[in-house]
Structure 1
Amino acid sequence: MSEKIYGIDMGTNSIKIYQKAAGVILHQKNMIAMVKKKEPLALGDEAYSMYEKAPKNIEVKQPIVNGVIADFTAMQTMIQLYFKGMHGKKFAEGLAAGGNAEFYIAVPSDITEVEKRAFFDLIASSSLKTKKIRIVEKPIADALGAGLDVMDATGRLIVNIGADTTEISLISLGGIVQSRLLKIGGTKFDEAIQQTVKKKHNLVIGMKSAERLKMQLASGIKEEEEITYDVMGRNLITGLPNRVTVTNHLIFEAMSESLSSIIDAIKFILEKTPPELSMDIMHDGICMTGASTHIKNLDLLIQQETGLSIMKMEEPELTVVKGLGMIMENPDYERLAHNLQDSDFH
């Protein structure tokens, strides 16, 4: 029988929930559609289907921006409604009345204490009253979910390229030695593609179209062969719908600046790495996680620029929530979860 112990990874692009003894029970887009800014209409993938298509009285929003909570009320509403949807009204009322559930929340390491506190307060002040709320630093959960041993004295370098952020972390002995959080990720790539297509073809396209172009044409390394993909949008001059053909070379040009910033940040962390841990990284290489690592040849780019081997995951978007699950399931990892007042968490 599954226990009332949950791990939650609230990413910019998607929300994942793990239940002890049951595994991953939710993986949806982290979006909510609100009518007149207060009535929830749709959540997750259903809300995403309305994105860029909704009338003015329906607002479709992402409650998490750049890895932190941007809309506290919307995110809290989503969490509460997800539990009602997963378990029914009776279970949700039982949680609120009994207060016997436990939650493990993943948070980025390189954010302020106030921003970390917001993740704790999100659950603590909700109708899902609990007996315990623990905070886990995302890079630690990420590394565990990727199959790395984070408890020994070996240095592990993990690069998580998500929707809004890239988090680069050096881990040893269950803690973070060095970390850097960049406001660069899949969304930044999409915005750059939008702007480049607008400039090159006088075509205004939506974020969904830009994302499709990225999925079809993007590559970390410039390819010799030209590949094309047709995209629909609004002509900037005539104002009429139009279709243009976009090449992979144009997409590479659009993304090159952001990719260079990620490479520079990885090199910065490597330069700050203590010599003994540098030896470990030379031996084991870099572990890449996050949904944006699906971009073709991105691993090859990082390998060429750093000279290090690259380890990729089959489901890079799920490593954090799986890592939370490992902490919940294995008592040996309990010290990796913290109360907000723990001195080693600050």
Structure 2
Amino acid sequence: MDIAHFGVEEWLNKWEKKATYDISQSSIDALTVEELIGLDGTTVTDFFETISKEPLDYGWIEGSDEFKSLVAALYKHVEPDTILQTNGATGANFLALYALIEPGDHVVSMLPTYQQLYDIPLSLGATVDFVELKEEDHWQLDLADLESKLTDRTKMICLNSANNPTGTLLDIPTLKAIVEMARKVDAYILIDEVYAPLTEKEEFSSIVDLYEKGIATNSLSKTYSLPGLRIGWTASSKEIADIFRKYRDYTMICGGVLSDKLAVHALKNKDRIIERNRKIITGNLSILNQWVKKEPRVRLVSPNYVSTSFIKLDIPQKDEAFCIDLLEETGVLLVPGTAFGYPGYARLGYCCKQDTLTKALDLLSNFLRKFDPESIS
């Protein structure tokens, strides 16, 4: 099996620990252990005293009953038995693709998106066609283009909503239109939903609540600020979950006793986490949008209250070289658009601590001034 290098993950693995001002990440400022446990007034001492005699065995293979029930409650039409715990959303995506995609299958994906969603199918012997998102269309999926790519042998439509890296959303009318297309060719729809928008508006629906062959993958990493727990899940129909179970035994035994306990605690306190994170997104997005208005060398289609954004750089330099120079000279880290197949752009993760964001944007603007005519002359 041959597979392409994973652009964004290789970039972060090489550079993220060298950053002073990391605005490359797509999570919301991570909770500490103390912050997580203290959400409901529990102390770290009390929490770990309670579980201190818990055997560190395999625990619940598919996730504890409490975990599965709490996750199922995030959806409208999902039963706990159809929730399968995974190693983050990356594990969930891999499980779904590994279980369903075979050599000769046809898959349609969007671009840009999280690279797993097209390179894993390619590595499994599938043919992949792309619907390319365009900045001038506000990064919205072209439904006519999608429909033109579907055939009678299309096995799966792989999407990402909200989108990584652009932060734009597939709204409910769009999802319903995609479902009708998929039904006509009897295709699965897999949507990585790890970036749920934190707005008060009812704009978002999970694909698993709209389509019998819909598969939702998600985790605690982004919306819930807990990427270090490495806990995710698949949500699907019982028929699909039963297919996944067989393949899951080959890819993941369990999430671990401690991670499951912490995940349950997070889900019990999800409203408190979302309230915290909504404030972070709202405040930081305002800072980002105001900065973009004043920065002549940057364009941005504002993200839909999710933690990732995709800026266009107006510079006479390749984006990867620019990002390396920026890091080495200022300590500011972005992800070059080339890592997503879109040169000339960069992923800017704005949901870090506010002082980090403000300082990083100031340094980025100062760095961009070297491309101005008066600086060049």
What TM-score comes out, normalization by structure 2 length? 0.28
What TM-score comes out, normalization by structure 1 length? 0.29
More relative contact order, 1 or 2 (CA 8 Å, 6+ apart): 2
